[in-house]
Amino acid sequence: MTVGAEHEAPALAQALGAAILAGLEVEDGHQDHLAIVRRAAAAEDEVDALLHHAVGAARGAGHSWASLGDVLGMSRQAAQQRFGARRGDAHDDGRSDGQERWLGPVTAFDEMAELEIAGRQGWRTVGAGMLTHRVRRTTTQWEHKRVVWTGPVRRFETDGWQVAIRAFPWIYLVRDTGVPVEDA
């Protein structure tokens, strides 16, 4: 268990357990244990992805590997090895058609300004990595918006925003302006 999380664990376990069991029916007094295992494994994958996004957001906000290791109950080196960029990750996808690229390095302090510039040139966010955004080229300008992941995004969708990526604790939204791109 991570440092300082002892008091949060019961509530998190309750919420995760409820989410895993939601919608599973009990037939003749028996639960489908394999369905529970399948959902628990999927939950583990999602929690791991959320943790990686949270670490990436903390790094983007300027927190050191030492402070992250302290919060996670591990050494600085262990935190960096587990959550740092790895060889063969999505950055090395070999795409050479020029329609997608990585934008970065960017931090929580400068990424929105960088995305604004990229958006005027027709690039829209389609993914994120550690201190980077995956962007795709289009023929129109895009607006980018970052909001805290606090609930349903329907309130933004009514204004024409689309969810580009969920990178806990953020949701990145994009909106096509319909305006042709500026020259680079």
The pLDDT score that the predictor gives to residue 48 is: 86
pLDDT tens, position by position, 70-80: 999 999 999 98
pLDDT tens, position by position, 88-136: 444 444 444 679 998 988 888 899 999 999 999 999 999 988 788 999 9
| 21-25, 63-67, 97-101 — most confident range | 63-67
CA dist 7 and 12 (Å) reads: 10
Burial zone of 65 (CB within 10 Å; 0-12 exposed, 13-18 middle, 19+ buried): buried
Burial zone of 62 (CB within 10 Å; 0-12 exposed, 13-18 middle, 19+ buried): exposed
CA dist 85 and 68 (Å) reads: 15
* Contacts of residue 109, Cβ cutoff 8 Å, sequence gap at least 6: 60, 61, 62
> At residue 163, does pLDDT exceed 90?
yes
pTM beyond 0.75: no
